[in-house]
């Protein structure tokens, strides 16, 4: 593991930029991602790693906002690293980083494992630099992202395996009818703009609904809310 420039940089304006860590065992891929991130004015590259253990160490020592993590890596794979990172409290008390999992393999099981581990996004490595940057910014905002090449129905296929089945009323009873409606739209893969249009409300109102749903369900981002909607059957109503 190494920090972006030999040590974790802390420029004066670090707080206004997204702190990004990149972990991939392929040097060319890692360096390519690094060049793209360094060129952004709203991002700060705080660390690079070559395996899952590096990822865990970077999450603790470099305190990134977003981590881009490969799945197939030596020492500790990206899925296991994601699980360990999200389970460990940070010394500063801040929330753990959001994790964007990347892979060259468009395989159902990888998406399932990434979601189960708590990743906020899943992207294929053949994505363009603009797509990578958009993915990073998307999950940094607390939204979920699954590569367009991975069908949305995939989430529904595997969501029931994320956790044991539960009684819907036990966890969703505190949601209002309007919030349940928004959750169903989330499960269909809609953005805040699309939800606003479907419900004839403003974008800010749609965003508020989504925030309340995440808070009430105790989930950290939209992708986990979508998984919840499928595994409880709300998405099918």
Residue 163 and residue 146 share a domain: no
Residue 4, in any domain of the structure: no
Residue 51 and residue 94 share a domain: yes
Whether 217 has a pLDDT exceeding 60, the answer reads yes
* Arithmetic mean of pLDDT over the chain: 79
The string over 178-216, giving b where at least 16 C-beta atoms fall within 10 Å of a residue's C-beta and e elsewhere, is ebbbbbbbbbebbbbeebbeebebeeebbbebbebbbeb
Rounded Cα distance, 80 and 72, in Å: 10
Residue 164 and residue 126 share a domain: no
Rounded Cα distance, 51 and 172, in Å: 38
Residue 61, in any domain of the structure: yes
Q: 72-76, 152-156, 197-201: which range is least confident on average?
A: 152-156
Predicted pLDDT at 107? 59
Query: When comparing pLDDT for 166 and 112, which is higher?
Result: 112
Residue 43 and residue 126 share a domain: yes
Residue 2, in any domain of the structure: no
Q: Domain of 23? A: 14-150
Query: When comparing pLDDT for 49 and 12, which is higher?
Result: 49
Residue 85, in any domain of the structure: yes
Residue 223 and residue 184 share a domain: yes
Of 150, 172, 206, the residue at which a domain comes to its end is 150
Residue 224 and residue 142 share a domain: no
pTM of this structure: 0.66
Residue 203 · residue 193 · CB < 8 Å? yes
Residue 209 · residue 175 · CB < 8 Å? no
Counting residues of the chain whose pLDDT is more than 90, the rounded percentage is 37
Residue 125 and residue 27 share a domain: yes
Whether 175 has a pLDDT exceeding 80, the answer reads yes
List the CATH number of the domain containing 62.
Answer: 3.40.50.2300
Q: Per-residue pLDDT averaged across 33-52, rounded?
A: 95
162 exposure class (CB count in 10 Å sphere: 0-12, 13-18, 19+): middle
Residue 7, in any domain of the structure: no
Query: When comparing pLDDT for 221 and 168, which is higher?
Result: 221
* Per-residue pLDDT tens digits for 220-236: 777 778 778 877 778 76
Rounded Cα distance, 157 and 69, in Å: 24
Counting residues of the chain whose pLDDT is more than 70, the rounded percentage is 76
* Per-residue pLDDT tens digits for 122-160: 888 888 888 889 889 988 887 766 654 454 545 555 555
Of 150, 165, 188, the residue at which a domain comes to its end is 150
Residue 31 · residue 6 · CB < 8 Å? no
Of 112, 130, 150, the residue at which a domain comes to its end is 150
Residue 198 and residue 123 share a domain: no
Whether 60 has a pLDDT exceeding 70, the answer reads yes
Rounded Cα distance, 121 and 145, in Å: 4
Whether 12 has a pLDDT exceeding 80, the answer reads no
Residue 137 and residue 34 share a domain: yes
Query: When comparing pLDDT for 158 and 94, which is higher?
Result: 94
Residue 125, in any domain of the structure: yes
Residue 171 and residue 143 share a domain: no
**Number of domains observed in the structure of the chain:** 2
Rounded Cα distance, 198 and 232, in Å: 23
Predicted pLDDT at 226? 77
Q: 52-56, 147-151, 201-205: which range is least confident on average?
A: 147-151
Q: Which two tokens stand for residue 128?
A: 């363009």
Residue 86 and residue 63 share a domain: yes
Q: Per-residue pLDDT averaged across 3-9, rounded?
A: 41
Residue 210 and residue 96 share a domain: no
Residue 9, in any domain of the structure: no
Residue 197, in any domain of the structure: yes
């Amino acid at each position: 593991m190494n920090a972006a420039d030999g040590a974790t940089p802390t420029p004066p304006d670090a707080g206004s930029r997204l702190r990004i860590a990149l972990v991939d065992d392929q040097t060319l891929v890692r360096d390519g991602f690094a060049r793209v991130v360094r060129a952004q004015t709203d991002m700060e590259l705080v660390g690079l790693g070559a395996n899952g253990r590096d990822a865990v160490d970077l999450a603790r020592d470099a305190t990134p906002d977003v981590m881009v993590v490969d799945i197939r890596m030596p020492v500790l794979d990206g899925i296991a690293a994601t699980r360990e990172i999200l389970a460990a409290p940070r010394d500063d008390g801040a929330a753990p980083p959001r994790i964007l999992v990347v892979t060259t393999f468009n395989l159902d099981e990888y998406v399932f494992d990434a979601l189960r581990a708590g990743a906020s996004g899943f992207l294929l490595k053949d994505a363009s630099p603009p797509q990578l940057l958009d993915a990073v910014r998307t999950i940094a905002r607390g939204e979920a992202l699954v590569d367009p090449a991975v069908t949305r129905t995939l989430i529904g296929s595997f969501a029931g395996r994320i956790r044991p089945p539960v009684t819907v009323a036990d966890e969703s009873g505190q949601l209002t009818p309007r919030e349940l409606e928004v959750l169903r739209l989330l499960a269909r893969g809609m953005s805040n703009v699309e939800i606003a249009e479907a419900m004839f409300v403003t974008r800010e109102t749609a965003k508020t609904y989504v925030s309340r749903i995440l808070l009430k369900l105790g989930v950290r981002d939209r992708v986990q809310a979508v998984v919840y909607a499928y595994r409880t059957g709300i998405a099918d109503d």
